[in-house]
Amino acid sequence: MITNKYNKHINKTRLKESGISSRYLKVNDTTIIVLFIEQLTDRAALTSSIIKPLVLNTTKNLTIDKLMHSVIFMDDMITDTDENKLIDYILKGQSIIIIPTDEKYLIANTLKVEKRQIQDPSIESTIKGARDAFTENYDNNISLIRYRLKDPKLRIDEFEIGKRTLTTVSVIYIKDIANDAIVQSIKDKLSKIDIDGILESGYIQKYILNNPHNFFPQTGIVERSDIACANILDGKVIILVEGGNLALVLPKTFIEFIDASDDHYDNIVISIFSKCIRILCIFISLFLTSLYVAVVSFHPDILPAQYIISLATSRATVPFNAFLEAFLMELVAEILREASIRLPKQIGPAIGIVGTIVIGQASVAAGLISPLLVIIVSLSLMGSFATADYTITNTMRVIKFLMIIITSIFGLFGFTMGIILITINICSIDSFGVSYVSPLSPFNFTSIKNLFLSDSTLSNKRPSYLKTKDKTRH
């Protein structure tokens, strides 16, 4: 008898402690028990599609199979006999129907989660691209991908990670495009994750990286469904996490951080120009301030005589050496950046702009910093925002300070060594078996051309470094 078998699971006191509601029905001398969690259940569907058909039913000798095939109106139902899974099903928002005389129990999908509507992307702004961004609702996110990719070879492999959260994590790819070795490597790493809870994709990112302590991100983040689908069509893998509004894209190479979705929608010339601007911004953000320190502190003689005099005049009242001046000003800029991010949307931008203007002008007027440094720090700050993927921005923030420190000690020699160390670090990284500096090394002219042109009419081949099964876009 199922009531004996599952007695410990359907005990009313135990159910109440777990927040599980129960409804006992008497249908033609058959006792039927319905278990559910009110906060996770679509109450209207439960009433109209399960309870009402049961109450109005006139069939005798009811069984779980009869309920499933001829009584209950729900479209998504399965049966099970494993007593250990019963509570897990309920905690996932499913409704359980039990008949005391049947070995099976019925699981009906009545899950309903409060969710926000699909909105414009907040970190991946676009002019011409789609504006439907992922939300915290897993089903919504899957539907956005399936809406754009109607390929029957699309695969969504789901994992349940987190002993207490039981979070659904999906690996999404196209079977006849993606590299099997990359897909299997990702699945292996996901299957080895042992933790009590996964709440967002950032948790997954830390577990699947080859070296989680490296400065440079080996995965990208995706907020928009059109970008996610474009990456899948390239042969990459997308990871979606239940409850997270950002997906992970992998593998990811360093040069891909300069590629924006608008480049694929704009004219080729505009696309190339925009990419060149972003590359320049990366160099400005990383090296301009440290170069200022090197020139002012160690090598002012590399400047023309009139510029040396002008620079000395502007710094005549500055009480700090070039290192402290640059370090403190960059620190103030980072404080303003952090404050503007944490403040409410309505006042955050205003505080950032007003704070920068007021502090910069006041510092120059007080003779604490030179006007040239204000320009340099402002350019450095703006340059860090020009990258298409925000994850590389945080890396640039840290490396910028390290470059300032090493340059203040060794001058241009330290500046040069810093660049060399960064290059060595980038060249030594791989992202799931793909070289981080691909397609520059190993050099592949076609992949580089396709990346910079960002034109589907001229880019007939997928990136060679991904070693996809289907190498062409035809």
CA nearest neighbour of 18 among 45, 39, 42, 44:
39
CA nearest neighbour of 171 among 161, 162, 265:
161
Element holding 67 (H helix, E strand): none
168 contact partners, CB below 8 Å, separation of at least 6: 138, 158, 159, 160, 241, 242
Q: DSSP assignment of 75-120, as one string?
A: SSEEEE--GGGHHHHHHTT-EEEE-TT-S-EEEE--B----PPP--
- Local confidence pLDDT in tens for the 474 residues of the chain: 444 565 656 666 566 666 788 888 888 888 888 998 888 888 888 999 999 998 888 888 888 988 898 889 888 899 998 888 888 888 888 999 998 888 889 999 988 876 667 777 767 777 777 778 888 888 888 988 998 898 889 999 999 999 888 899 999 999 999 999 999 999 999 999 999 989 888 889 888 887 767 788 888 888 888 899 999 999 999 999 998 889 999 999 998 888 888 888 888 888 889 889 999 999 999 999 999 999 888 888 888 888 878 778 777 778 888 899 889 888 888 888 887 777 766 665 656 656 666 777 777 777 788 888 888 888 888 888 888 777 888 888 899 999 999 999 999 999 999 999 999 999 988 888 899 998 888 888 888 888 888 877 777 888 889 999 988 887
Helix axes 348-365, 371-384, angle to 10 degrees: 160
How many Å apart are CA 458 and CA 449, to the nearest integer? 9
Q: What Cα–Cα distance (Å) separates residue 453 from each residue in 91, 172, 231, 440, 441?
A: 50, 27, 16, 15, 19
Helix axes 391-410, 371-384, angle to 10 degrees: 150
Query: ∠ CA 171-174-179 to the nearest 5 degrees?
Result: 85
CA nearest neighbour of 448 among 423, 465, 428, 424:
465
* Reported pTM: 0.82
Cis? peptide before 300, omega within 30° of 0: no
Burial category of 241 from C-beta neighbours within 10 Å (exposed 0-12, middle 13-18, buried 19 and up)? buried
State phi, psi for 98 to the nearest 5 degrees: -120, 135
Query: ∠ CA 57-62-67 to the nearest 5 degrees?
Result: 70
